[in-house]
Every structure is written in structure tokens, then in C-alpha cells.
Amino acid sequence: MIFKKILICAVCTAILTGCEKRSISSVTENYSDRNIFAMDTFMTIRAYGDNGDEALKSAEQRIKYLESVFSVTAENSDIHRINVSDGSEAEVSEETAELLSQAVRLGNETDGALDITLYPVLNAWGFTADEFRIPDSDEISELLEYVDYSEISVDGKCVTVPEGFQLDLGAVAKGYTSDKIADDLRENGVESAVINLGGNVRTLGEKPDGSPWKIAVRNPFDTENDMCVLETGEISVVTSGNYERFFVDEDGQKYWHIIDPSDGYPADNGLVSVTVIGENGLYCDALSTALFVMGEDKAVEFWREKRDFDMILVTETQEIMFTSGISDCFKNLTDMTEEVIADD
Ligand code: AMP
Ligand code: MG
């Protein structure tokens, strides 16, 4: 029998207020906060300036809307309709079509490490309903027949996947949402904000007092505490870690929610957490998952090729490795060894 254990927590935390499992809004001197529970996660948004409160109301509506179309479980969501489409065409919202096209592109860019068609495999492991089990290798091999992001066809708002294929946007939805919220806030007159979607952090503009934003990243070996702080300007910071959602079997073996699409097992390539820092929330979200799957060597190779993001890798041997672009803003809060990844 499997000893079930689950820990779902924010991956990294902007240094902000605490969260509550309901939406609240409070206006203080020069900023407004809103705490929202959506997409299975606690979200906090702080908007500075006079327009904050109104802007946050529409941000919350936008989040609820995106949740309603991206949800894998809600009966009427776009993703649910695709997942029960049996190979026929499904018409979806503009946002779903956009995110699916981007996720397919990012699947290509990461050579399939990001694959949003993994749902049948995630389901077999019980990660979709928190009913954990270890599928046998035959079951996994059979299910992998239904995993291949390149089979997704997006034509305008019409989406087709082969019979038996099912999608899950868990690896990319929050990053996409953070970008949309940042755009909305700006359109609504907010020039300065922190959007923290369950550890998927996006800052907007500069902090009004001129000091840098401080974004903390959780310690994967001590999840109650932070591993480092990044001092930055406008940026996205997204972490994927093996401590976010997992179970442990009776022999003490740990199984986590990030799956290697090449074999259908939890990705076990030497990393326990990956943080990606960059301009675009969706890109950072997609890469944090994909680089976790790739493991240290391939992740470093990928970064050297792209150079359009920074990253922090934490190895299972308790080493922190980060790219040179964040050397000046990275503050290690632990006694783990740190190493700057060489440029080539
Ligand atoms: P993240 O926390 O962004 O790394 O996303 C992890 C979530 O994405 C998991 O809970 C699954 O729902 C899904 N997922 C797991 N492995 C993959 C993968 N290799 N590619 C795409 N989605 C994945
Ligand atoms: Mg991700």
C-alpha cells in the first residue's frame, strides 16, 4: 500500500502579505492587495497607486475567466471539451487557442521536454485527483501512445487532437495568466505591481520607492524556508520543484508531478528545483518545467544556446548553480555551495 503524502505549496514567494482562501481587497495608503484562490493555488496581487483597487477587480475577473477555460476538470472548460472530443474538432476561446499554439511551439523548442498531452500519464499516477498509485510499465507504455504535443492542431479557434489524447495546461497556465494580468494592470493605469500566482511571480514596473523588488525562492530541502532572494526590476521568476506535489511509497521512494515525456516516469535527472528568470511569464513557466525534465547538462546546454533567460538550478547533491546574468542580484540564504554557470 502506498503511503500517501502530499505537499502543495507555493514554490517561491514574493515578499508580500499572507494569503487567504477567499478574495479580499484592502486599500492602504498607496497600494491595494487582492488575495485570490484560483487554478488550485493561492494568488496575491499588489498594485501600487490610485488605480490599484479597480484594476485588481478586473484582474480577478480575468483570472477567474482564464481558470474557467483552462481547467482540466470543469465540465464546460475548453480543455475539458477537447479532452472528451474523441478526435473531433473543438471550438475554443481565443486565449486557449493562443496558449495551445504557444505551448506547442515551446514543446518544439524544448525538444518535447514540455509536453501538454501528458494528461493520461499524470492521471495514471494519480496526480490529477491526488489518488496516488504506481502504474506498471506496460500501462505507462500504452498510455505514452497518446502523448505527443506535435499532434495538436490549432486552426484559428478550432482545436483537434487525435482520439484518446488529453491535454493539461498545468505547466504553462499560470505563466500565461501572469502576463495577461500584467498587461491588464498596465492598461488600467497601474505602473507598479507584484503578481504572485502561487509562487509564479511577475513584477510590473519599478517599486515606487525606487528600491528593487525582492523575490524569494523556496529552499527545496527545507520548504518552510527560502533559499535565496533576487533583487530585480520588472521580471518574471518561476520555479518548478519536486517538493510541490509528490507521494512517497512504503519503501520511502518519492514520486513527483513533473513527468519525463520520454518514459512516463517522474523526471529524475539530478535536479530538485529549477527557477527561470526572464521577461515573459509563459516562457519562464514553460522552461522551468522543461529544464527540470532535461536535467543539469541539457539545461545548461539549452541556456547556452538561447541566452534569453537566466536560471537557478538546485541539484539533488545540494548545489546551487546559476547563470551569470543574475550574479549581482542573487543572495544565497543557505550554506549550500553556489556556482556560477560558465558562459561557454
Ligand atoms: P510546473 O509546476 O509549472 O512545473 O508544472 C507542473 C505541472 O505540469 C504538473 O502538475 C502537471 O500537471 C504538468 N506536467 C508535468 N510534467 C510535464 C511535462 N513534462 N510537460 C508539460 N506538463 C507537465
Ligand atoms: Mg511550468
Q: Are 320 and 313 contacting, i.e. CB atoms less than 8 angstroms apart? A: yes
What's the confidence (pLDDT) of residue 2? 40
Cell numbers representing residue 206 in the block: 519599478
- Per-residue pLDDT of 114-171, as tens digits, reads 999 999 999 999 999 889 999 999 999 999 999 999 999 999 999 999 999 999 999 9
Whose atoms come closest to the Cα of 292: which ligand? 1
Q: Are 95 and 69 contacting, i.e. CB atoms less than 8 angstroms apart? A: yes
- Alpha carbon distance 162, 317 (integer Å): 41
Q: Which of 9-13, 245-249, 328-332 has the lowest mean pLDDT?
A: 9-13
Mean pLDDT of 5-23: 36
For ligand 1, atom 12, name the residue with the nearest CA: 170
Ligand 1 mutation target, pool 257, 263, 269, 282, most atoms within 8 A of CB = 257
What's the confidence (pLDDT) of residue 18? 32
What's the confidence (pLDDT) of residue 343? 86
Q: Which of 12-26, 103-117, 257-271, 294-308 has the lowest mean pLDDT?
A: 12-26
Question: Which DSSP helix (H) or strand (E) runs through 68?
Answer: helix 52-70
Q: Are 310 and 276 contacting, i.e. CB atoms less than 8 angstroms apart? A: yes
Name the residue type at position 63. I
What's the confidence (pLDDT) of residue 199? 84
Whose atoms come closest to the Cα of 113: which ligand? 1
Edge-to-edge strand ranges of the sheet holding 236-241: 24-27, 31-38, 41-48, 193-197, 200-204, 236-241, 271-278, 310-315, 319-323, 337-341
- Per-residue pLDDT of 79-106, as tens digits, reads 999 999 999 999 999 999 999 999 999 9
Q: Give the pLDDT band (50/70/90) at residue 336.
A: very high
Is the pLDDT reported for residue 223 higher than 70? yes
- Per-residue pLDDT of 57-83, as tens digits, reads 999 999 999 999 999 999 999 999 999
- State in Å: Cα 210 to ligand 1 middle: 36
Whose atoms come closest to the Cα of 106: which ligand? 1
Of 6-15, 20-29, 262-271, the range with the highest mean pLDDT is 262-271
Is the pLDDT reported for residue 10 higher than 60? no
Q: Are 71 and 78 contacting, i.e. CB atoms less than 8 angstroms apart? A: no
- Per-residue pLDDT of 267-315, as tens digits, reads 999 999 999 999 999 999 999 999 999 999 999 999 999 999 999 999 9
For ligand 1, atom 8, name the residue with the nearest CA: 171
- State in Å: Cα 170 to ligand 1 middle: 5
- State in Å: Cα 27 to ligand 2 middle: 32
Residues with CB under 5 A from ligand 2 (ion): 171, 285, 288-289
Closest ligand 1 atom to 11 CA: 2
- State in Å: Cα 116 to ligand 1 middle: 8
- State in Å: Cα 226 to ligand 1 middle: 22
Residue 261 vs residue 199, higher pLDDT: 261
Is the pLDDT reported for residue 40 higher than 50? yes
Q: Give the pLDDT band (50/70/90) at residue 29.
A: low
Q: Which residues line ligand 1 (CB under 6 A)?
A: 114-116, 118, 122, 127, 168, 170-171, 240, 245, 257-259, 261, 285, 288-289, 293
| Average pLDDT in the chain | 92
Mean pLDDT of 179-193: 97
